[in-house]
């Protein structure tokens, strides 16, 4: 039996996932598309036999016709969908960020811990990118000595409608917060932000572009992230990992129109892995704790943006048993 998936939110990312599941994924099909904008949901369902349209996600998850839920609404709406879906006991792939702030992410972690099994995978797709995995494996094996530093670039051609100044941290840099946690296997201890000249292409109130975000991990790996999200020319994500004996460069000289193209293979692997996990009854990959830790880093990052130059410590609750 194919996994019957409900996609909640048929915007840019939701449409991309619908297309992916319908055309490229195995052992799964789209059973429901939910969007408060019915016209958008109807447009997304076109050509997909047997899929139903809903404007209220609670009806979709209670329909008995859905085995798993993919959440691709904007981040600030995730909690409202996550909590009832956890109660319903359905496995979830939740697009990043889990939620934008750590208090709401902590509520999600507690709700999942309370039922005592993992239902949520967070859509940190970079963990499935081949270049990221090469660096992660080199860190884990120790073959090139210790990892000393990570220097990252995160370039977007422009920002989507509705992007806010704080989205630079909680929508864009959240990928590096999770990426650094994944690559190093450590929590991030502190965050600092440097800003300078602002681009003439910035029309978003409160957006600093370009910016530089600095972090330290628990063991002292030094991290820098150069962001430029109104860079006009394309989408680029690079990582340089400085080991004691070698430097590994990933993503260099690769410019794409957008993240869908840059990370197409990572997304495909991520979603197929999630589908296969759902069918086996075990959700793996980045979990709700990773989502919560990312949100806690974002909170430190936002405080660091407000006070450029200051070093802000990341504060985490104690990790619940389920995630150890």
Q: Note the residues at the interface with ligand ISE (CB under 6 A).
A: 156, 171-172, 175, 229, 259
Q: Based on CB atoms, which residue is closest to ligand ISE, 142 or 160?
A: 160
Q: How far apart are CA 195 and CA 238, in angstroms?
A: 20
Q: Based on CB atoms, which residue is closest to ligand ISE, 61 or 94?
A: 94
Smallest gap, in angstroms, from Cβ of residue 49 to ligand ISE?
30
Name every residue whose Cβ is closer than 8 Å to that of residue 317 and which is 6 or more positions away in sequence.
106, 109, 292
Q: Based on CB atoms, which residue is closest to ligand ISE, 101 or 171?
A: 171
Contact at 8 Å (CB) between 186 and 221?
yes
Q: In DSSP terms, which residues pair with 190 in a beta bridge?
A: 216, 313
Smallest gap, in angstroms, from Cβ of residue 171 to ligand ISE?
5
Q: Based on CB atoms, which residue is closest to ligand ISE, 45 or 174?
A: 174
Q: Based on CB atoms, which residue is closest to ligand ISE, 153 or 216?
A: 153
Smallest gap, in angstroms, from Cβ of residue 240 to ligand ISE?
18
Q: Based on CB atoms, which residue is closest to ligand ISE, 106 or 235?
A: 235
Q: How far apart are CA 6 and CA 250, in angstroms?
A: 34
Q: How far apart are CA 94 and CA 98, in angstroms?
A: 6
Q: Based on CB atoms, which residue is closest to ligand ISE, 172 or 192?
A: 172
Question: Could you please report the per-residue DSSP string of 202-237?
Answer: --STT--SSEEEEEEETT--EEEEEEETT-SS-BEE
Smallest gap, in angstroms, from Cβ of residue 97 to ligand ISE?
9
Smallest gap, in angstroms, from Cβ of residue 212 to ligand ISE?
15
Contact at 8 Å (CB) between 294 and 178?
yes
Name the residue among 100, 107, 106, 101 with its Cα closest to residue 84: 107
Smallest gap, in angstroms, from Cβ of residue 153 to ligand ISE?
11
The DSSP bridge pattern shows strands 188-195 and 68-71 to be unpaired
Q: Based on CB atoms, which residue is closest to ligand ISE, 57 or 259?
A: 259
Residue nearest to ligand ISE (CB): 172
Contact at 8 Å (CB) between 174 and 123?
no
Smallest gap, in angstroms, from Cβ of residue 175 to ligand ISE?
6
The DSSP bridge pattern shows strands 222-228 and 3-8 to be unpaired
Reduced to 3 states (helix: H, G, I; strand: E, B; else coil), residue 277 is helix
Smallest gap, in angstroms, from Cβ of residue 158 to ligand ISE?
10
Q: How far apart are CA 301 and CA 136, in angstroms?
A: 24
Smallest gap, in angstroms, from Cβ of residue 122 to ligand ISE?
12
Q: Based on CB atoms, which residue is closest to ligand ISE, 260 or 273?
A: 260
The reply to whether omega before 110 is within 30° of 0 (cis) is: no
Q: How many angstroms from the chain centroid is the CA of residue 190? A: 20
Reduced to 3 states (helix: H, G, I; strand: E, B; else coil), residue 280 is helix
């Amino acid at each position: 039996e194919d996994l019957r998936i409900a996609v909640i939110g048929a915007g840019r990312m939701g449409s991309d996932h619908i297309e992916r599941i319908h055309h490229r994924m195995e052992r799964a099909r789209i059973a429901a598309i939910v969007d408060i904008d019915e016209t958008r949901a109807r447009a997304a369902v076109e050509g997909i036999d047997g899929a139903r349209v809903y404007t209220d996600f609670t009806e979709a998850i209670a329909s008995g016709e859905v085995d798993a839920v993919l959440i691709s609404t904007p981040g600030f709406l995730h909690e409202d969908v996550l909590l009832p879906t956890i109660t319903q006991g359905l496995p979830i792939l939740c697009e990043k960020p889990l939620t934008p702030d750590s208090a709401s992410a902590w509520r999600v972690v507690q709700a999942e811990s309370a039922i005592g099994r993992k239902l949520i995978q967070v859509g940190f797709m970079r963990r499935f990118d081949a270049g990221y995995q090469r660096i992660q494996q080199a860190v884990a094996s120790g073959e090139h000595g210790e990892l000393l530093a990570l220097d990252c670039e995160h370039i977007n051609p422009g920002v989507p409608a509705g992007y806010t100044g704080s989205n630079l941290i909680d929508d864009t840099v959240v990928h590096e917060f999770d990426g650094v946690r994944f690559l190093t296997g450590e929590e991030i201890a502190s965050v600092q932000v440097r800003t300078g000249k602002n681009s003439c292409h910035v029309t978003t109130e409160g957006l600093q572009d370009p910016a530089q975000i600095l972090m330290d991990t628990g063991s002292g790996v030094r991290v820098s992230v150069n962001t430029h999200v109104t860079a006009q020319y394309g989408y680029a994500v690079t990582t340089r990992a400085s080991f004691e004996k070698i430097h590994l460069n990933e993503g260099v000289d690769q410019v794409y129109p957008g993240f869908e193209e840059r990370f197409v293979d990572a997304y495909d692997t991520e979603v197929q892995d999630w589908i296969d996990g759902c069918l086996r009854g075990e959700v793996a990959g980045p979990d709700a704790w990773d989502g919560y830790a990312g949100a806690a880093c974002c909170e430190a990052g936002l405080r660091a943006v407000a006070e450029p130059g200051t070093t802000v410590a990341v504060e985490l609750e104690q990790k619940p048993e389920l995630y150890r």
